[in-house]
Structure 1
Amino acid sequence: MMVTCLVQIIGAVIQVTSHSSAQFIVGRILIYLAVGLVENVVPTYESEICPAPLRGFCVGSIQLFLTFGSLIAGIANQYLSKYSSDAGWMIATGVQGVPAVIILAGLPFTPNSPRWLISKGRRSEALKALQRIRNKQANDSGLCELEIFALESSDNNSEKAPWSALFNSANRRRTSIALAIMALQQLTGVTFSSSYGPTFYKKVGLGDMAFTYAAINNGVSVVTAMIGMILFDTFGRRDVTFHGCWLQTVFLCLIGGLGSKPHRTTGDTNGMVASFILYAAVLHATLGPSAYITAAEVGTATLREKTMAIATAFNVVVGFVVVYTTPYLLSTPGANLGAKLGYIWAGFAGVGAIWVWFFMPELKGRGLEEIDELFAAKLPAWRSKKFVGSGLGGAVANSKEDVMQKEQVEEVEKV
């Protein structure tokens, strides 16, 4: 994270001081490199430090902050677009360095991952770090010592596997799940929503309200992203992602149908705008965070960082294809699809719902070691919800859930 922050700050400085397109592009590349590092490091770290019953909430928070970032960027762009001097674009690009400075200030107070420390043979440091991030009851009940023992007994102590192991018979299924869900996140149009909202509204004749509608869209998505953080640990990854995909399909088809009418009424226009906002709201509450959560927790201990790395890299590549092709699909010169572009994203969302049902296992509430047991059992995805692990990983996860439930009961009794 320290390297990521430094890359981000350097990229912002290079952009702000640019006197040529080439220099600005170099700064932009560095910024995007930092984004890729964040999407890799943050979910992996969160998945390793969070107790199983809260892993969806914690890892899913990255979607909230990505959406919140889009909201801030949209507001800043709208305000700064009124500047006629260089200060407009310089402030807009310079703001990119602010989050990195905030993170750097917080890093000294951030413990290392206990799992990483165990993999390096630093048991006492791992226990101390775990005790810092677990609550008092977990410490008093000896759950931290049990968790450390479970980590020492798992593959966490094994030497990290090579990249080629991602696609061997033992890990191929896990890698394919991470790659598929990261690709689906982009292919259902997340960039279409976050990056081309104002362009879309202008294209369909709503130029006067383009930035306003985009800001509303981002604001609603921030709220639903917060709701999504709760949904995954309440209803499970499979159900939330499945229902999210088919709902996206419905709203995207409505965008295509209402927006492409030759003689659109005011009601049609309002319906299209509402569908666009609702589609984005569903995306940021379901498939958006689900991609990061699943990719972060699906990899085995010896390959977790590599699984997340290849998944986020694939996400960036697919996202680049979407970003590059969207202007040509949306406008002229190009396919000039306009609102009909919604049908394309709807097709991918429909495929996503089918994929979730047949291929995405339920990982809610499971310890990372219990997930290893689940894949070793080779159950079909639709039967994974009923699987109960028999090893220490499952016992630790269940103990954490019992502690959390006990805390909730005590809070109710106090009230």
Structure 2
Amino acid sequence: MVPAIIILAGLPFTPNSPRWLISKNRQPEALAALRRIRNKHANENGLCEREIIVLENSDTHSEKAPWSSLFNRSNRRRTWIALAIMALQQLTGVTFSSSYGPTFYKKVGLGDKAFTYAAINNGVSVVTAMIGMILFDTFGRREVTFHGCWIQTIFLCLIGGLGSKVNRTTNDTNGMIASFILYAAVLHATLGPAAYITAAEVGTVSLREKTMAIATAFNVVVGFVVVYTTPYLLSTPGANLGAKLGYVWGGFAGVGAIWVWFFMPELKGRSLEEIDEFFAAKLPAWRSHKFVSSGLTDVEVENKLQGMGTEHVEEIEMTEDKGRGSREKARN
């Protein structure tokens, strides 16, 4: 409820997407929106105008591609990345940590304290998820996700190893609890949000919505399988693995680290056009951080800016004047 209220409260202050405005041939509004969200340096040095030129010469006006295009030669690598990382998020036990925390804590012998520790676990995960957003923008999606996967592997295997001991001590139990909380914290700071970020960024312009839609649907399907099987793996009747279930999720996390290294490209700071260029170049994921986009040359941009002249500026001023007039009327 609270997040929904916060989002609704922020909507009036959120400008329309410049890319969407350009697709509707509303360039003056697009430039005004871009100036609103860019810093002073970008506004004073003509960087916003340059960005508009690049967007105008991109694939912004392209028609939406059919669903079958998700799996053609040009796009199937992108679709595979989106589907794989969504499945990986579920297979490393995100539902196990968020939904079955109390059950796990009871299983390791916490009894009435299980709910308290589950609340602590969820609280820590919320905080680390926010920290994760900073990490992604600072170090990149690929780097953070890779390290997150192998760190999860360590904590999950610790849970499985300590839980396998026949004569478990209090220190062993405390070690499992600490490992579980730290595993969940790392998951929600790295792979958890990385799945949605990557699926949203990896699709081409004409397939972005469809790529995200099919990836989210696949995430739900894999999540359903995990939710359905976890009780049978964790308790009786079933495999009754208890803490040894950490080996299962830890195995997937280890595979995930390998997958990220070989298949997940770094998309941090890339425009949609640069991402298209990268996939067209068919470079391996581990070379993505070295990829340099060709794009429009500085000369081409300058020539287009000269043609742009004062026409856009005058239209923007008229648009902004109309906006101010409407706001003044609303106040009166």
Shorter-chain-normalised TM-score: which range?
0.7 to 0.9
In the other structure, the counterpart of 1:213 is 117
Q: Does residue 1:169 correspond to 2:85, yes or no?
A: no
Partners of 1:362 and 1:285 in 2: how far apart? 17
Amino acid in the other structure paired with 2:32: K
Larger Rg: 2
Match of 2:23 among 119, 128, 153: 119
Aligned in 2, Cα 1:317/1:367: closer, same or farther, shift over 3 Å?
same
Q: Does residue 1:298 correspond to 2:202, yes or no?
A: yes
Residue pair 1:370, 1:391 contacting (<8 A) in 2 also:
yes
In the other structure, the counterpart of 2:282 is 378
In the other structure, the counterpart of 1:56 is none
Q: Does residue 1:353 correspond to 2:257, yes or no?
A: yes
Q: Does residue 1:245 correspond to 2:149, yes or no?
A: yes
Q: Does residue 1:337 correspond to 2:232, yes or no?
A: no
Residue pair 1:177, 1:295 contacting (<8 A) in 2 also:
yes
In the other structure, the counterpart of 2:36 is 132
Aligned in 2, Cα 1:283/1:392: closer, same or farther, shift over 3 Å?
farther
TM-score for both structures, normalised by structure 1? 0.69
In the other structure, the counterpart of 2:56 is 152
The runs of 5 or more residues in structure 2 that have no matched partner are 300-332
Q: Does residue 1:318 correspond to 2:222, yes or no?
A: yes
Q: Report the CA distance between 1:394 and its aligned residue.
A: 11
Match of 1:229 among 116, 123, 133: 133
In the other structure, the counterpart of 1:184 is 88
SS at match of 1:303: helix
Q: Report the CA distance between 1:110 and its aligned residue.
A: 2.1
Aligned in 2, Cα 1:362/1:106: closer, same or farther, shift over 3 Å?
closer
Q: Report the CA distance between 1:140 and its aligned residue.
A: 1.8
Partners of 1:254 and 1:166 in 2: how far apart? 40
1:220-253 C-alpha deviation (Å, 9 max, x unpaired): 2233223222222222222211111111111111
Amino acid in the other structure paired with 1:287: L
In the other structure, the counterpart of 1:100 is 4
Residue pair 1:369, 1:394 contacting (<8 A) in 2 also:
no
Aligned in 2, Cα 1:148/1:324: closer, same or farther, shift over 3 Å?
same
Aligned in 2, Cα 1:250/1:323: closer, same or farther, shift over 3 Å?
same
1:147-181 C-alpha deviation (Å, 9 max, x unpaired): 12111111111111111111111111111101111
1:285-331 C-alpha deviation (Å, 9 max, x unpaired): 21112112211111111111111111111111111211122112111
Partners of 1:147 and 1:161 in 2: how far apart? 25
Q: Report the CA distance between 1:349 and its aligned residue.
A: 0.5
Aligned in 2, Cα 1:320/1:100: closer, same or farther, shift over 3 Å?
same
Residue pair 1:236, 1:363 contacting (<8 A) in 2 also:
yes
**Number of residue pairs the alignment of both structures matches:** 299
Q: Report the CA distance between 1:102 and its aligned residue.
A: 4.0
Q: Which runs of 4+ in 1 moved over 6 A?
A: none
Partners of 1:160 and 1:220 in 2: how far apart? 41
1:66-89 C-alpha deviation (Å, 9 max, x unpaired): xxxxxxxxxxxxxxxxxxxxxxxx
Aligned in 2, Cα 1:394/1:258: closer, same or farther, shift over 3 Å?
farther
Partners of 2:206 and 2:49 in 1: how far apart? 22
SS at match of 2:127: helix
Amino acid in the other structure paired with 2:232: Y
| Paired residues for 1:15-94 under 5 Å | none
The runs of 5 or more residues in structure 1 that have no matched partner are 1-95, 396-415
Residue pair 1:388, 1:394 contacting (<8 A) in 2 also:
no
Q: Report the CA distance between 1:376 and its aligned residue.
A: 1.0
Aligned in 2, Cα 1:99/1:366: closer, same or farther, shift over 3 Å?
closer
Computed over aligned residues only, the root mean square deviation of the Cα atoms, in angstroms, reads 1.9
Amino acid in the other structure paired with 1:209: K
Residue pair 1:298, 1:371 contacting (<8 A) in 2 also:
yes
Match of 2:161 among 257, 260, 267: 257
Partners of 1:253 and 1:394 in 2: how far apart? 52
